[in-house]
Amino acid sequence: MKSMLARTIAVTLALVFMLGAVPAQAHTRIEPTSLTLSANHTRVDRGDRVTFSGSLKSDWKRCKAYKSVTLFRGKRPVATRKTTRAGLYAFTVQVPKTATWKVKFKGKRWGVHPHVHRCLRSTSRGITVRVR
């Protein structure tokens, strides 16, 4: 009786492995990101509009396409936009006073442990726009 049970279990396991019914392997993917930022003017009159543009870069397309990036004046958030499929973005804002502007991506995480994906956060370099 015991040998018959052992044979049944052995045959069942052999069939499972031969037919490819093995559970999927879990994995974690962590991708770094970076942001570029440029302004069409850095010396303007009070109340002029400045267009800030740049791109969210990553080796993995899912970390740059249609992600939210936020424009900051100093430490205050001014506006949030979604990137294009290629990771590009643009903000047009009225500049009230001299300030340093930067763009931040807060990162993205999805999946359930142990199958988790993460796009790491990033911040652009600051650009100072001087108001005359």
Looking at residue 112, which CATH number applies to its domain? 2.60.40.10
What is the model's pLDDT at position 3? 74
In this structure, is residue 50 part of a structural domain? yes
Say which residue, 92 or 5, is predicted with more confidence.
92
**Domain range enclosing 67:** 27-131
CA 56 to chain centroid: 8
In this structure, is residue 84 part of a structural domain? yes
Q: What's the CA gap between 30 and 118, in Å, rounded?
A: 5
How many domains would you assign to the chain? 1
Whole-model pTM: value is 0.77
Residue 43 parent element (H or E): strand 43-44
Q: What's the CA gap between 3 and 8, in Å, rounded?
A: 9
In this structure, is residue 55 part of a structural domain? yes
What pLDDT band is residue 83 in, cutting at 50, 70 and 90? very high
Q: What's the CA gap between 34 and 106, in Å, rounded?
A: 11
In this structure, is residue 85 part of a structural domain? yes
